[in-house]
């Protein structure tokens, strides 16, 4: 069971109704479900999101959905990004969303990237996947997409 899960409301994370915290970094878990071992995409997107000011956790290869959801809960992430190259994106996303519902963790948003045929993008979105980013998507589109479905407006990083 999760406690102290931060919720993003508008520009702020709320710990409970009364505690308004200063805006924190978006936390995101990039995960490799299934048996496919192609992790270049997952690693590159992890770095791009880090450079965009997010806190990124990378799961490593060959994770079960159980492991991924457990990691997401323990790390209190706002978003899970699955990277799938094996063609198993439809059954994996379906099972993942079902498990999130069962675990009562639907407040964590799911996005998916990898080798996703165009005809499957609509199917995934209808299923409840918030962002679908096939190979070749620019980082800007992904970053703005994440801000978009979290209901946030991007803030420019502070000058050093």
Residues 140 and 138: their CA atoms lie apart, in Å, by 5
For residue 42, state whether it binds another protein (rule: CB under 8 A).
no
For residue 99, state whether it binds another protein (rule: CB under 8 A).
no
Instruction: Give 90 or 150: the residue with its C-beta nearer to another protein.
Output: 90
Instruction: Give 88 or 121: the residue with its C-beta nearer to another protein.
Output: 88
CB of 153 to another protein, least distance (A): 36
Give the CA dihedral 83, 154, 4, 125, nearest 10 degrees: -40
Q: Of 31, 34, 54, 133, which lies in the binding site for another protein, with binding defined by CB under 8 A?
A: 34
Contact stretch for another protein (CB under 8 A) within 14-22, 28-36, 75-83, 150-158: 28-36
CB of 29 to another protein, least distance (A): 19
**Residues 83 and 31: beta-carbon distance below 8 Å:** yes
């Amino acid at each position: 069971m999760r406690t102290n899960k931060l919720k993003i409301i508008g520009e702020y994370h709320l710990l409970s109704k009364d505690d308004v915290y200063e805006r924190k970094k978006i936390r995101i878990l990039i995960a490799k479900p299934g048996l496919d071992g192609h992790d270049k995409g997952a690693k590159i997107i992890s770095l791009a999101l880090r450079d965009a000011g997010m806190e990124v956790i990378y799961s490593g290869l060959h994770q079960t959905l159980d492991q991924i959801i457990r990691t997401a809960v323990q790390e209190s992430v706002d978003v899970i990004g699955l990277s799938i190259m094996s063609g198993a994106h439809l059954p994996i996303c379906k099972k993942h969303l079902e498990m999130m519902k069962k675990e009562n963790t639907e407040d964590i948003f799911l996005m998916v990237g990898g080798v996703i045929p165009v005809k499957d993008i609509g199917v995934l979105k209808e299923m409840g996947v918030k962002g679908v980013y096939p190979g070749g998507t620019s980082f800007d589109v992904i970053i703005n997409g994440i801000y978009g479905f979290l209901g946030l407006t991007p803030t420019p990083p502070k000058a050093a």
